[in-house]
Copies of this chain bind each other. A is one copy, B any other.
Amino acid sequence: MVLPVTLSGAQFIGPEVSRDAPAEFSAFAPATGKALEPAFAEASAREVDAAMALADRAFPALYATSGTRRAELLEAIADEITALGDALIERAGAETGLPAARLSGERGRTVSQLKLLASTVREGSWVNARIDRADPARQPLPKPDVRSMLRPLGPVVVFAASNFPLAFSVAGGDTAAALAAGNPVVVKAHAAHPGTSELVAGAIQRAVRRCNFPDGTFSMLQSAGYEVGVQLVRHPLTKAVAFTGSLAGGRALFDAAVTRPEPIPVFAEMGSQNPLIVLPGAIAARGADLAAGLHTSLTMGVGQFCTNPGLILVLAGAATEGFVTALGERVASTPAGTMLAPRIAEGYRQGVGKASAIKGVSVVAQGSAGDGCTGTATLLRTTAATFLAAPELAHEIFGPCGLVVECADMAELERVVATLGGQLTATLHATDEELQKSPRLFELLERRVGRVIVGGFPTGVEVCHAMHHGGPYPATTDSRFTSVGTGALLRFARPVCYQGVSDALLPEELRNGNPRHILRLVDGNYTREAF
């Protein structure tokens, strides 16, 4: 397959392309089962070091950039990505098997999240500027002038995700947030879409040049193995890590980071089962819509979303039986879908096989089976007793598989919820009356998750100020931070405090005059006023 773009297959170390190592790997087209041209070079240890050193050299200049300048860079990246046109969608489609419509939509999301972060750092209040003015007359000691705001951390390593080849890959949410906060970024590209990655890296490079940012603002390394990633995480110049992927992968990087001589933060978003509770009253009120909506959420993108609702908790009864039957019918009529990579398809097959082999678990329905790198939609069913006795049923199966867990009553359902580990989301479909009768349920859910949804579905994560895409471990390695929305900026910044520092040396955001009129906490009062 020849595409109308030229790919180097090399590393991007700032503006330079580099190709040290003889080792190579190829992208694989999941829809055809064939390898794609060209071959991509594995990054060498020297290239890892060169990328990190260049990032470190760029940091002082980036540290000093204003929010306005950073906004310009993000917007230029968005424009350059748009300018890649169909070539990007075609290459991404070939490498991931995702349809063009989905990829166009994802490109739109990638561009709009760059622009949302640009508008946030241009406005500027996100830096949490705080000023406590001096009081030389205070007794027993004079009060000093103390000011603080968020400043960038230093070089950030971003691991691209396979399931969002644009929106959580080279120029995805993590890269956008790290750059927006003023940090250089070194991306470890995902081996499942190296060509897509190279196209986007080129777009970022052009934007860096156009906006006169330093060379080391952005680099990207290719690798199909684990070693390059671990080298990046353990590199002494790396100051933070962002990752989206599996629990095993995220935990390995976390372990590598926290055992460094200087531990660094790792923001690993590792997915979850995303429990969805459907109570009889909601089924009575809108059972058909619920079955349709849940089926869509479960099978969209061949279930390859970290917010895929893999665990469906219900109460025993006639209404529930009708709902499960309707959902099963929809699952049974689902065509097989091309999955992102053979390893993912194989992992999905094994996960479904293991879960359905557990005594007490039955297969309600399965969709069509396909050849090669495909996934078959599956609805499994068990009882709360079996679920509670088989801890392996509480592990995510990445793909279009839902496990219905039938609970005898609300007390048993609450017991199941109370055993769940940290989750990205929990979803509740219930009538107001049902919720009032079980006041503990909502609180049990929210204490375990990053986002609780009532009456909707967890997929389709809105990119906005209030979004929190995170959650207690094992959903993520740090429940205090989000990887989606403008809060994502906060991962890549730390407060720095200035005591007795004159206006000339202070960052603009902390000067008396407040030239950008940002919101600040001055002597305990929020204000946009200068003084």
Contacts and interface: CB of A to CB of B under 8 A. Distances in A.
B470 A502 contact: no
Interface string A487-512: 10000011111111110110000000
Interface stretch (A42-50, A81-89, A187-195, A450-458): A450-458
Interface residues of A, number: 77
Interface in A140-194: 140-141, 143-144, 146-148, 151, 153-154
A64 B64 CA distance: 42
A197 interface: no
Contacts of A21: none
A131 B464 CA distance: 9
Contacts of A64: 443
B474 A262 contact: yes
A450 B263 contact: no
Contacts of A265: 478, 480
A125 B130 CA distance: 14
B499 A452 contact: yes
Contact of A526 (B63, B125, B449, B454): B125
A148 B466 contact: yes
B132 A446 contact: no
Contacts of A148: 451, 466-468, 487
Kindly report how many copies of this chain are found in the complex they form together.
2
B432 A497 contact: no
A450 to B, nearest CB: 6
A432 B63 CA distance: 22
A460 B138 CA distance: 14
A140 B499 CA distance: 50
User: Of residues A453, A468, A504, which shows the largest number of chain B Cβ atoms within 10 Å of its Cβ?
Assistant: A468
Contacts of A131: 466
Interface string A20-64: 000000000000000000000000000000000000000110011
B519 A526 contact: yes
A265 to B, nearest CB: 7
A451 B468 CA distance: 30
Contacts of A462: 132, 143-144, 146, 499
B521 A497 contact: no
A151 B446 contact: yes
A505 B263 contact: no
Nearest to A507: B446
Contacts of A466: 130-132, 146-148, 497, 521
A479 B494 contact: yes
B487 A495 contact: yes
A21 B4 CA distance: 77
Contact of A455 (B60, B255, B487, B500): B500
A424 to B, nearest CB: 10
Contact of A454 (B60, B422, B500): B500
Nearest to A59: B447
A524 interface: yes
A63 B478 CA distance: 19
Nearest to A146: B466
A499 B132 contact: no
Nearest to A443: B60
Nearest to A154: B447
A408 interface: no
A222 interface: no
B144 A497 contact: no
Nearest to A439: B505
Contact of A464 (B146, B258, B477): B146
A465 B131 CA distance: 7
A263 to B, nearest CB: 6
B130 A499 contact: no
A216 to B, nearest CB: 15
B454 A501 contact: yes
B505 A442 contact: yes
A254 interface: yes
A473 interface: yes
B263 A454 contact: no
Contacts of A464: 132, 146
A505 B130 contact: no
A39 B499 CA distance: 44
Interface string A421-454: 1100000000010010000101100110111111
A505 B143 CA distance: 43
A482 interface: yes
A460 B141 CA distance: 9
Closest CB pairs A-B (n = 9): A468-B497, A130-B466, A451-B497, A258-B258, A132-B464, A468-B495, A453-B499, A146-B466, A479-B494
17 contacts: A59-B447, A130-B465, A141-B460, A148-B451, A151-B446, A255-B259, A262-B473, A263-B473, A263-B477, A265-B478, A453-B500, A454-B499, A454-B500, A454-B501, A455-B500, A480-B494, A526-B526
Given A154-B447, A262-B422, 5 more contacts: A130-B487, A132-B465, A141-B460, A144-B462, A456-B500
